[in-house]
Amino acid sequence: MAAYTLRRLLLMIPTLLGILLLNFIIVQAAPGGPIDQMLARFEGLSSQSSTRLEGDGGEVASSDGSRSSRGIPPQFIERLETQFGFDKPAPERFLDMLVDYATFDLGESFFRGKAVTTLILERLPVSISLGLWTTLLVYLISIPLGVRKALVHGSRFDVWTSGLVIIGYAIPGFLFAILLIVLFAGGSYWDIFPLRGLTSPDFSELSVWGKVKDYFWHISLPVAASAIGSFATLTMLTKNSFLDEIHKQYVLTARAKGASDRRVLYGHVFRNAMLIIIAGLPSALIGIFFTGALLIEVIFSLNGLGLLGFEAVMQRDYPVIFGTLYLYTLIGLILKLISDLTYVWVDPRIDFETRES
């Protein structure tokens, strides 16, 4: 198993390089780069300044002339290119980025004046809070529900719960978030939960128990909105996995030997049926923690990683785009390896080294 783990770790290097290279090419080809964004901001400020001067009866002039009439000086554009590193050819910029990423130096944001690492660390607690509680809620409800549905397959309970989870799956998370705001956050009915943020303004002044209550008070609606679409997939996956195992020969043999239903379920079926659930955990974590809550973060004004990545793409903030992409990819590859190792821990009969050979 050690050799397999080492091979997987080494394979992460070309995988990371390939993903970064592909996205680097795509982003570089996209119109409206960071210099265009900066020039648009500069022209907007110049236009506003000119409007104010004209309104005051003044002349639109400065020591180096009016930018609105003469255009932006080429020297200014050259300074921007040097500042953003665009005075170098694209291959050299890509190689410099890889060298920095090898030491986890993710660079500095073009427009925020902070290191990318600092921005990520500032936003990470929000995404972890939302993703952790969403994942925990989904798994605590979906797995027992899926097991129960498998045991009573075809019953009324199975039918109406299937209808509920499918309806929940059909409702987009952001639409359910708006519905929750209308119902419970002072929209049109009850004003029970806060509308935005993870904490109240006086959070630091509260007692320990008060902070706990305030935190869960704020996180309730975002977590509910994030989890609504995840129940169906995991519930039906759990049900089908258990149904498949329940009808296998070893279960019939165990029952024929007089084993109780509880012993058969938790002593034989559970471990085998949970393998497919474990396999989907890494992708579920990546989706919930980093990318699945973008609209939820926007609606509830939560400054998480999803909102950070979206803002970076809109602003063409390349260091933030590539820095977050690098970390997402690296974490995803590591979680996938952990998933495979967990396979072996759950069922020692699985041997990845033999399978690869």
pLDDT digits (tens, 9 = 90+) for 146-185: 888 888 888 899 899 888 888 888 887 778 888 888 888 7
Q: Which of 132-141, 254-263, 300-309, 347-356 has the highest mean pLDDT?
A: 132-141
Can you list the positions of beta strands (E) in 63-179?
none
Check pLDDT > 70 for residue 347.
no
DSSP, res 205? G
Nearest-5° angle of CA 213, CA 214, CA 216?
Answer: 65
- Own/partner contacts of 69-72, CB < 8 Å, gap of 24 or more, are 72/39, 72/42, 72/43
- The answer on pLDDT for 135 being more than 80 is yes
**pLDDT above 60: residue 138:** yes
Say how many CA atoms lie within 13 Å of 97 toward its Cβ: 26
Residues ≥6 apart with Cβ < 8 Å to 32: 316
**What are 341's two structure tokens?**
């190792």
322 with 24: CB under 8 angstroms?
yes
Do the beta carbons of residue 236 and residue 165 sit within 8 Å? yes
State the pLDDT at residue 65. 37
DSSP 289: I
pLDDT at 114 over 60: yes
Contacts of 346 (CB under 8 A, 6+ apart): 271, 274, 275, 278
Q: Which residue segments constitute the domains of the chain, with CATH numbers given? A: 37-95 (no CATH), 116-356 (1.10.3720.10)
Q: What pLDDT, on the 0 to 100 scale, is given for residue 139?
A: 86
pLDDT tens by residue, 45-91: 555 544 554 454 444 333 333 333 335 667 767 777 776 777 788 88
Joined tokens for residue 202: 């006086």
Cβ neighbours of 338 (radius 10 Å): 15
What is the percent of the chain where pLDDT is above 70?
80
The DSSP secondary structure of 27-74, one letter per residue, reads HHHSSS-HHHHHHHHHHHHHHHHHHHHHHTT--S--TT--HHHH---H
163 neighbors 157 (Cβ within 8 angstroms): no
Q: Are 308 and 119 in contact (CB under 8 A)?
A: yes
- 127 with 305: CB under 8 angstroms? yes
What pLDDT, on a 0 to 100 scale, did the predictor assign at position 224?
Answer: 86
Q: Of 305, 331, 329, nearest to 116 (Cα)? A: 305
The helix (H) or strand (E) run that includes residue 185 is: none
Q: What is the mean pLDDT of residues 91-110?
A: 87
Q: Given this model, what pLDDT does residue 282 score?
A: 66
> Which has the closest alpha carbon to 134: 287, 295, 324, 20?
287
- Quick: pLDDT tens for 297-344: 878 878 887 778 778 888 888 888 888 888 888 887 887 787 777 767
